[in-house]
Structure 1
Amino acid sequence: MVTTQLKSLFSLEGKTALITGGSRGLGFQIAEALGEYGAKVIVTARKQGELDEAVATLTERGIDAEAIAADVSDVSEPERIGAQIEAEGGRVDILVNNAGTSWGSKTEEMPIKGWDKVMAINLTAPFLLSQQIAKRFMLPGGWGRIINVASVEGMMGHHPDMIGTIAYNASKGGVINFTRALAAEWAARGITVNAIAPGYFPSKLTDYTLDKHGDHLIRTTPSGRLGNDDDLKGAALLFASDAGAHINGQVLAVDGGASII
């Protein structure tokens, strides 16, 4: 039997979560989980139409949800997002840095514009958003949860038979150590910073890779499958709630065991 005390540790009632890239895929999955446990969710993405659909779906499920259209590759957007939330009388208790992109190329052919695009979205945006949200809300309040969506690709090399993703791997490796460094810096100020490192999940970002190498990836995953629409929910809820209050600077791979063999 689940006790009232245990339920309260996972409850997010009264909290607000900001999820970047939250209109679909992994970000939407996380928004569902946090919203189901009581958080108000604010989802951001570039396309207003996709945001409207996401908010409508979340609202139908009884989740308090709203959206802010934003392109986090623009270095001015994190400040605008924070200022807009603050001006509307809101706040952010939980930040999920999920928005991400990749660029497939052999390293010797990688264009600088591709490298810069990946770094801007995958690494610079989490830094600027964490900075803005912490300064405005978390540090003054002495409480906060930051969850960075990294990748198992940031923990290891990339198989040479697959299309090269040097910028993606480097950026996600950066996210992992960004998580550790920021966790150490802000731990005494009431903020935890952790990372989820997904393996391969079906998504717009992974469509090409799964089309070419999906069978191989499934065969080399001990669980024998890809990630599904629920597999990140438990990890996100743990890191966002008081149940994970003493977990800080950690990276949790959610990959069916693929990274351990």
Structure 2
Amino acid sequence: MNLTDMFGLDGRIALVTGGSRGIGAMIVEGFLAAGCACVYISARKTAQVEAAVEDFNSRYPGKVVGLPVDLSTVEGCRGLAKELEAREERLDILVNNAGAAWGEPFEGFPEAGWDKVMDINVKSPFFLTQALHGLLKAAGTADRPAKVINIGSIDGMRLNPWETYSYHASKAAILYLTKRLAARLVQDHIIVTAIAPGAFQSDMNKAARDHGDAVAQSIPVKRIGAPEDMAGAAIFLASKAGDYVVGDTIAVDGGLVHGDLKTSIDA
């Protein structure tokens, strides 16, 4: 077996939403190291995108292009697709990573906290994949399918201790949406899968970012996730090595979902 061919992404074109920081940036770094010809990143804040592009291109010259856009609306998803269509004839890999969270007690949980999270975490991945269907089909073949990777969360597989009602609902929804999309798009040589991250340092996971050592004590492997953990899972699914994985979700969480004996017994 040729492992370079199996896990390499030479010549591939990718788009990572929310790719300017956190888990998205970890995935971008991995794709670049694996040989992607070009990785497009999108995020809502232009300055943030520009700073990330400058940083990535300082190490991988000319390989990263920023496309700032608000993906919380269908118009934003379609606008991003048009921007990409103007630059590329195909898209090999789409990572739906952009996300939002909201925590507030049940009694006062607002409609805005529901709509914002559901729009960006569930509606956006569907309508962006729909808008990019043509470019993904142009890339996909039986021998080299295009890939869509949805970034969920272990909070879609188990409860966390906080009152994040819309976040829990959205992350459960994206995992099942992944199955539905996979069943439809496999006929177009587009493979859809998902990753459910656990504790990784990011602005959305402030506990892991600011109190990593303490958080690690509740994780079976006794550490929070490293960038290589997330990048490795994404490279596997995006590469030839993951071509036979369809509609499934990989929990990248150090054992919180499947290795936590206390949780298993309580369940």
TM value normalised by structure 2: 0.89
Range moving further from structure 2, 241-250 or 105-114? 105-114
- Decide which of 220, 241, 254 is 2:252's aligned counterpart: 254
CA-to-partner distance for each residue in 1:122-155, whole Å, 9 max, x for gaps?
Answer: 0000001111111x21224433100010000000
Aligned to 1:85: 84
Counterpart pick for 2:236 among 235, 238, 253: 238
1:226 maps to what in 2? 224
2: distance between equivalents of 1:66 and 1:141? 19
Residues in 1 aligned to 2:238 and 2:30: alpha-carbon distance in whole angstroms:
10
User: Where do 1:188-227 residues align within 5 Å?
Assistant: 188-207=187-206, 209-210=207-208, 217-227=215-225
CA distance in structure 1 between the partners assigned to 2:50 and 2:209 by the alignment:
29
Letter of the 2:50 partner, please give it: D
| Equivalent AA in structure 1 for residue 148 of structure 2 | I
Aligned residues: 253
1:60-96 CA-to-partner distances (Å, cap 9, x unmatched) read 2225110100111122011111111112345321000
Distance 1:182 1:11, change over 3 A: same
Share of identical aligned residues, percent? 38
- CA drift of 1:107 comes to 2.5
Aligned partner letter, 1:254: V
Instruction: Give the residue type in structure 1 aligned to 2:163.
Output: G
For residues 81 and 173 of structure 1, the distance between their equivalents in structure 2, rounded to whole angstroms, comes to 25
1:212 Cα deviation from its structure 2 partner: 9.1
Equivalent AA in structure 2 for residue 73 of structure 1: S
8 A contact 2:94–2:148 mirrored in 1: yes
For 1:214 and 1:13, locate their aligned partners in 2 and report how far apart those are by CA, in whole Å.
Answer: 34
Counterpart of 1:98, as a letter, is N
Corresponding residue of 1:12: 9
Report how far residue 110 of structure 1 moved.
1.0
Residue 44 (structure 1) aligns with: 42
Letter in 2 for 1:57: D
* Residues in 2 aligned to 1:47 and 1:105: alpha-carbon distance in whole angstroms: 25
Q: Residues 71 and 216 of structure 1: is their aligned pair in 2 closer, same or farther, counting only changes over 3 Å? A: same
2:155 to 141, 153, 156: 153
Distance in 2 (CA, whole Å) between partners of 1:185 and 1:107 is 36
Deviates more, 1:28-37 or 1:102-111: 102-111
Residues 32-60 of structure 1, C-alpha deviations (whole Å, 9 max, x = no match): 11111121100001112211121122112
**Which secondary structure does the structure 2 equivalent of 1:259 belong to?**
coil
**Given the superposition, is the C-alpha separation of residues 164 and 213 from structure 1 closer, same or farther in structure 2, using an over 3 Å criterion?**
farther
1:75-154 maps to which residues of 2 (within 5 A)?
Answer: 75-134=74-133, 136-142=134-140, 143-154=145-156
Distance 1:170 1:32 in 2: 29
Following superposition, the deviation at residue 216 of structure 1 comes to 5.8
> In structure 2, how many angstroms separate the alpha carbons of the residues matched to 1:32 and 1:255?
19
Q: What is the RMSD computed on CA atoms of the aligned residues?
A: 1.8
1:59 alignment partner in structure 2:
57
Q: Does 1:70 align with 2:65?
A: no
Larger CA deviation: 88-97 vs 16-25: 88-97
Alpha-carbon distance between aligned partners in 2 of 1:254 and 1:225, rounded to the nearest angstrom: 12
Q: Which amino acid aligns with 1:22?
A: G
Unaligned runs of 5+ in 1: none
